Amino acid sequence: DSGVTQTPKHLITATGQRVTLRCSPRSGDLSVYWYQQSLDQGLQFLIQYYNGEERAKGNILERFSAQQFPDLHSELNLSSLELGDSALYFCASSVSGQGAGSYEQYFGPGTRLTVT
Amino acid sequence: GQSLEQPSEVTAVEGAIVQINCTYQTSGFYGLSWYQQHDGGAPTFLSYNALDGLEETGRFSSFLSRSDSYGYLLLQELQMKDSASYFCAVLGGATNKLIFGTGTLLAVQP
């Protein structure tokens, strides 16, 4: 158990819908990262927040957005869902947010999103 | 940009030693990490190399050569539970993101 929690574990929804994925980082970690992993694919970095502020962005679609709240939990919002958005979405956290400190990230169990 | 290359699949027998290679290209480099992911599970951190040389952690070792932009993960005394995907990840680039390779699926056979 990494100490990172994600809800829900599974989500099935229809195309065009909007969903929110939730993540609570490990106690003491200030950085939260979101990744997308499609079938047989690697981990695609989406976005990073550090202490409430956006720190780095990856190939995140405009239909996707995220935020980190004062209590450090984070939410990833996915809208106008398409079939291709079906994937495992992981949240990870680390103590630091830049430089060598973010090489060790602790991953949550993931949310499996299925768009039908 | 950043790119990483690692073999897609490796097969080895129980008790053997296996090496998973990773070559990378990045503008700006802090270090190379390795993560293990069992099927459908969460990736877990294995090791990190910032400097050239070998880092050992139990049965797992990781090596880095910055001049060759190359690293490897060495798994010794393989066990069935080591069957998993192994990802190398580079910390670097303008925004210090951790960029993952596509992963190597290790199958350990009895």
CB contact under 8 A, B41 and A90: no
Six-digit token string for B110: 């009895």
Picking from A74, A68, A58, A92, the residue whose alpha carbon sits closest to that of residue A21 is A74
Residues 6-65 of A with CB under 8 A from B: 33, 35, 41-45, 48, 55-58
Interface mutation target, options A29, A88, A103, chain B, most CBs of B under 10 Å: A103
User: Any idea what DSSP says for residue A43?
Assistant: P
User: What pLDDT, on the 0 to 100 scale, is given for residue B93?
Assistant: 66
Q: What is the pLDDT of residues A78-87, one digit of tens each?
A: 999 999 999 9
Q: Is the pLDDT of residue A100 over 60?
A: no
